[in-house]
Amino acid sequence: MYKIKFYKSDIIIIVSFLLMILTYFYPLAQIGWFMFGCFSIALVFSWKAPKELIYLQLFFVLQFQHYVSSQILPNTVSYFTDVVTLIIFLHLVREVPKNRFNKLEKVIIFSSILFIFLGFMSNYYNNFDILKYAWAVRNNIRIFIFFVASSYFIDFSMVNKTNRLLKIAFTFNTIMVLIQFFTLPFAADFIGGIFGHSVGVANTYIHILLLYFLCYSLVNYLNRQISVITLLYYLIPIFLISAVAELKILYVEAVILFIIISLFSKKSIQSVFKFLLIGIMLLVGTIVTLPILVQISPFFKDFFNIENILKIAGGSYTGQDDISRLKAISYVQTRFFHNDVIKNWIGIGLGNAEQSQFSFLQSPFFLQYERTRYNWFTLPFVMVETGLIGVVIFIYPYIYALIELILKVKKEPSTIIAIALLSTVPLLYIYNLTLRTEIGYLFVYLIASHLPKSSKVSN
């Protein structure tokens, strides 16, 4: 049974989320700038400690989108994460002479360097622009830097401290979704809980938080780490939020993750019983809530039909001849590259398809093809700039980590969570921009914190 314990840092976290709720009813700019000031002061005092910087980054990611979407703070505050990432990168550079990086960390570093080199050569071949190239390096590599740092620097105490942050965030996220849906009211793509209500951001960010706790609750219940009450405490909000936010992908992921987690969890009569119990709970829950889901959003009618799922995934995103998730590569090859062999393999160059809120960083390609929505998904974005070779290099570190963990003989609950999260990477690759945006910091941290060296994390 999960025991509630409060630490001093937890009080700060709770107060920060209470202030977020307050701004829904009293949207005071002073609150937003006060919070940003607190993060800035924390950065000044923790810049020498990589672990604290990682924690600060995650805390900020769980906060800033709310203030941006409420127009309390400008979107430029997101560059705070770049400052933190740059300092973390310098800490990693200092560690290079010590040669203590493990195999996965070396794979991530090598893949990043290879990706940057490929992007440079492709950019040089297709009209080199140093400014846009540098911007693209920032957009594509920052998450990998944080992945390496999270794997290299974090320890037992920091992982547990971050776990408390995430559990508090989950609770307040549920509260804020209820406020958004019943009081404001928001619905569908505007539902983001603690991540605000900006279309294209809210769903992407909240999805990762729900995805993690879906993995966390299923793994720990099947491995006798939490009770059925705690399991329901997580599952009920996860599926209700997915319904009101129209996160259809999470229902598909739930089935896939349930199978994967069951395969790798310890086998016993009790675990088989729990497996059946969860299956029955999910089935009954779906039957009971389906009419409610359809009423909330007609989109859920026939959603669980396999043909309908494939039709949705294969069709264009808006139904206006823009790019589709499952056919992204062929779309790029025919519509953008016109089957040019060189472009198919190496793309048009890192930076030559970039977008930005600053006009001088917007590429001509983006201005011409923005309507196709290629920039809404990681896979076509990477394909356009670095071709098929870049597509493989970009996802390789995740696939390598997944294979390494699967081949391990002993699989602790923490390792199974990492396997579950890594198994969703191909879906995230084609589904949205998680692997290129700030929520990617949280995603790769969650993977890194559950790798074998952190397997003694308490629940």
Q: What is the pLDDT of residues 324-344, one digit of tens each?
A: 888 889 999 999 999 999 999
Q: Is residue 205 part of a domain?
A: yes
Residue 347 and residue 122 in contact, taking contact as beta carbons nearer than 8 Å = yes
Its domain, for residue 380, covers 8-315+376-454
The residue-averaged pLDDT of 189-200 equals 83
Residue 237 in any domain: the answer is yes
| Residue 354: inside a domain | no
Tell whether 167 is covered by a domain: yes
Residue 93 neighbours by CB under 8 Å, 6+ apart: none
Q: Quick check: 156 and 414 in contact, CB under 8 A?
A: no
pLDDT category at 415 given cuts 50, 70, 90 is: very high
Is the predicted pLDDT of residue 67 greater than 80, yes or no?
Answer: yes
Q: Tell me: the pLDDT tens digits for 115-146? A: 999 999 998 888 778 999 999 999 999 999 99
Residue 343 forms part of a structural domain: no
List pLDDT tens digits, range 68-84.
998 999 999 999 999 99
pTM of the predicted protein model = 0.91
Nearest to residue 279, comparing CAs of 216, 222, 207, 215? Answer: 222
Of the candidates 321, 317, 340, the residue with the CA atom closest to the CA atom of residue 388: 340
DSSP 54-71: HHHHHHHHTTHHHHHHTT
Phi then psi dihedrals of residue 198, to 5 deg: -85, 130
pLDDT single digits (tens) 200-226:
788 899 999 999 999 999 999 888 888
Q: How far is CA 196 from CA 170, 193, 201, 280, 441, in A?
A: 14, 6, 8, 34, 18
**Lowest mean per-residue pLDDT among 160-174, 295-309, 351-365, 396-410:** 295-309
pLDDT at 458 over 50: no
- Which residue, among 382, 380, 420, 388, has the nearest Cα to 401 in the 3D structure? 420
In a domain? residue 332: no
Please give the pLDDT value at position 449. 95
Element (H, E) at 35: helix 29-46
Cis ω before 452 (30° cut-off from 0): no
Average of pLDDT values for 7-17? 88
Q: Is residue 459 part of a domain?
A: no
In a domain, 356, yes or no: no
CA–CA dist 452, 459 (Å, integer): 15
Number of domains in the chain: 1
The per-residue pLDDT for 456 is 37
Average pLDDT over residues 253-262: 88
Q: Which two tokens stand for residue 224?
A: 């006798």
What is the C-alpha to C-alpha distance for residues 120 and 116, in angstroms, rounded to an integer? 6
